[in-house]
């Protein structure tokens, strides 16, 4: 059957049940202003609007364009330079395609891939190759930062460190270990921000989608993490002149819609998830949210929109005035990036991790650092 290859790429968490339902809807006609009578191929989850392929693709593009314009994320023909954080996953691959569809020539775009050195399933090498090929297809200049080359440590090294803690029963160190994905996140954030600032980009776009945003919102709410809850939604409003605004044009497009958009437009992407993220407890929260969506259609978009419209401004005001009163911005004495202390948290973490690797070397006489696995040099 024509959809069999798609089932391979749509994982359970992509809500394949809803996808099946939408295939059943194919007996229906496109409801686009009652004027199009093509067979419907997809039903927009929050509005129940059944659309044909062309109108589904246009619906997604129109919603993305509306958000870009409403939030003034970036503007064509104004000499602005947009950096897209490209991971080779479906979200950033679709983002590249939509931005090139909306602004084929009138926007200066480049892409950056962070090579994190994850060897399982050839994850990092394959992701980088897919992202690079897709950028080549659109003539988008593609850059790579290899964390092993720049910092001597990659994510596989950090995973090995955790395994050593477990084997050696170093409970204190194990408790202090934040998790591979958390270190990965700070490698990505720090390097994307630094690269964008140093190269004069006016905005950085990432592929964050509605399903992931709603899940992290729920997670931060359950953890009562005020700092994360105070963060803005689709566009960051940084008060630091050293930080380039970060924008999320797919903020209100669900993971299922992105998967279907990629399918109908034949967009290549790496279907496998980061091997370390698979064990993440946050994945469970996503499944819960998708279940709620089954009987409260449109819940995800309504609660995310509502939060950023009503609650986030209140939390932000309270939180920001509290930290502003306590701290003022400096530049890190080690790397020159903005920080509220003397040394930024990225440099502090790097220093701590290097100390931990030395400790393993000295106490256990084993070297757990992997070889430099340079890939996609640019």
Instruction: Give ∠ CA 91-62-312 in degrees, rounded to 5.
Output: 65
Q: Which does 73 bind (CB under 5 to 8 A by kind): ligand AMP, Zn ion, ligand FES, none?
A: none
Q: Taking the complex as a whole, how short is the minimal distance between the CB of residue 205 and ligand FES, in angstroms? A: 18
Q: Taking the complex as a whole, how short is the minimal distance between the CB of residue 282 and ligand FES, in angstroms? A: 11
φ and ψ at 112, to 5 degrees? Answer: -130, 130
Closest to ligand AMP by CB, 159 vs 188, is 188
Q: Which does 212 bind (CB under 5 to 8 A by kind): ligand FES, ligand AMP, Zn ion, none?
A: ligand AMP
Which of 116, 260, 262, 353 is close enough to bind ligand FES by CB under 6 A? 116
Taking the CB of residue 155, how many other CB atoms lie within 10 A of it? 26
Closest to ligand FES by CB, 25 vs 272, is 272
Q: How far apart are CA 14 and CA 9, in angstroms?
A: 9
Q: Is 85 a residue that touches ligand FES (CB under 6 A)?
A: no
Closest to ligand AMP by CB, 32 vs 91, is 91
Q: How many residues bind ligand FES (CB under 6 A)?
A: 8
Cα 352 to the center of its chain, rounded Å: 26
Q: Kindly provide the residue ranges of all beta strands, DSSP E only, lying in 32-107, ordered along the sequence.
A: 42-43, 50-51, 81-85
Q: What does the chain come to in residues?
A: 378
Tokens of 336: 């020159």
Sites of contact with Zn ion (CB under 5 A)? 30, 32, 36, 38, 52, 55, 332, 334-335, 344, 347
Closest to ligand AMP by CB, 115 vs 293, is 115
Which of 20, 176, 277, 366 is close enough to bind ligand FES by CB under 6 A? 277
Closest to ligand FES by CB, 60 vs 153, is 153
Q: Is 249 helix (H, G, I), strand (E, B) or coil?
A: coil
Closest to ligand FES by CB, 22 vs 209, is 209
Binding region for ligand FES (CB under 6 A) out of 55-63, 138-146, 271-279, 355-363? 271-279
Q: Is 184 a residue that touches ligand FES (CB under 6 A)?
A: yes
Choose among 268, 280, 282, 276: nearest CA to 127.
Answer: 268
Q: Which does 344 bind (CB under 5 to 8 A by kind): Zn ion, ligand FES, ligand AMP, none?
A: Zn ion
Q: How far apart are CA 338 and CA 85, in angstroms?
A: 21
Q: Which does 52 bind (CB under 5 to 8 A by kind): Zn ion, ligand AMP, ligand FES, none?
A: Zn ion
Q: Is 365 helix (H, G, I), strand (E, B) or coil?
A: coil
Q: Taking the complex as a whole, how short is the minimal distance between the CB of residue 111 and ligand FES, in angstroms? A: 18
Q: Taking the complex as a whole, how short is the minimal distance between the CB of residue 36 and Zn ion, in angstroms? A: 3
Name 111's bridge partners: 84, 142
Give the CA distances from residue 47 to residues 19, 43, 297, in Å, rounded to whole numbers and listed in that order: 15, 8, 8
Closest to ligand AMP by CB, 22 vs 127, is 127
Q: Is 270 a residue that touches ligand FES (CB under 6 A)?
A: no
Q: Per-residue b/e over 312-329, b at no fewer than 16 CB within 10 Å?
A: beebbeebeeeeeeeeee
Q: Taking the complex as a whole, how short is the minimal distance between the CB of residue 38 and Zn ion, in angstroms? A: 5
Q: Is 192 a residue that touches ligand FES (CB under 6 A)?
A: no
Tokens of 293: 């969506």
First to last CA, the chain: 41
Q: Is 181 a residue that touches ligand FES (CB under 6 A)?
A: yes
Name the percent of the chain in helix, strand, coil, to the closest 5.
55, 10, 35
Choose among 122, 173, 156, 312: nearest CA to 233.
Answer: 312
Sites of contact with ligand AMP (CB under 6 A)? 85-87, 89, 91-92, 112-114, 116, 188, 206-208, 212
Residues that bind ligand FES (CB under 6 A): 116, 155, 180-181, 184, 274, 276-277
């Amino acid at each position: 059957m024509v959809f069999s290859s798609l089932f391979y790429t749509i994982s359970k968490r992509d809500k394949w049940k809803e996808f099946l339902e939408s295939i059943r809807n194919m007996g229906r006609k496109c409801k686009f202003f009652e004027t199009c009578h093509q067979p419907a191929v997809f039903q927009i989850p929050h509005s129940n609007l059944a659309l044909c392929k062309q109108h589904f693709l246009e619906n997604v593009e129109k919603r993305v364009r509306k958000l870009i314009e409403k939030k003034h994320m970036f503007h064509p023909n104004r000499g602005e330079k947009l950096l897209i954080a490209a991971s080779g996953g479906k979200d950033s691959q679709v983002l590249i395609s939509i931005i090139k569809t909306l602004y084929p020539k009138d926007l200066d775009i480049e892409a950056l891939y962070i090579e994190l050195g994850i060897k399982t399933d050839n994850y990092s090498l394959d992701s980088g190759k897919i992202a690079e090929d897709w950028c080549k297809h659109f003539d988008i200049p593609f850059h790579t930062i290899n964390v092993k080359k720049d910092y001597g440590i990659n994510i596989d090294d950090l995973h090995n460190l955790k395994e050593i803690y477990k084997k050696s029963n170093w409970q204190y160190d194990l408790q202090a270990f934040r998790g591979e994905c958390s270190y990965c996140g700070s490698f990505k954030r720090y390097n994307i921000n630094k690269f964008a600032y140093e190269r004069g980009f006016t905005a950085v776009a990432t592929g964050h989608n509605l399903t992931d945003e709603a899940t992290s919102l729920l997670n931060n709410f359950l953890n009562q993490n005020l700092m994360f809850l105070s963060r803005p939604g689709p566009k960051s409003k940084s008060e630091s002149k050293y930080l380039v605004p970060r924008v999320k044009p797919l903020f209100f497009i669900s993971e299922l819609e992105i998967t279907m958009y990629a399918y109908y437009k034949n967009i290549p992407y790496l279907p496998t998830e980061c091997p370390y993220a698979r064990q993440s407890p946050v994945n469970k929260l996503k499944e819960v949210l998708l279940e709620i969506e089954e009987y409260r259609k449109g819940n995800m978009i309504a609660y995310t929109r509502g939060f950023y419209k009503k609650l986030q401004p209140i939390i932000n005001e309270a939180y920001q005035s509290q930290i502003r009163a306590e701290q003022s911005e400096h530049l890190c004495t080690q790397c020159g990036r903005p920080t509220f202390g003397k040394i930024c948290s990225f440099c502090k973490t790097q220093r701590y991790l290097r100390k931990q690797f030395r400790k393993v070397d000295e106490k256990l006489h084993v070297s757990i650092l992997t070889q430099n696995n340079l890939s996609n040099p640019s």
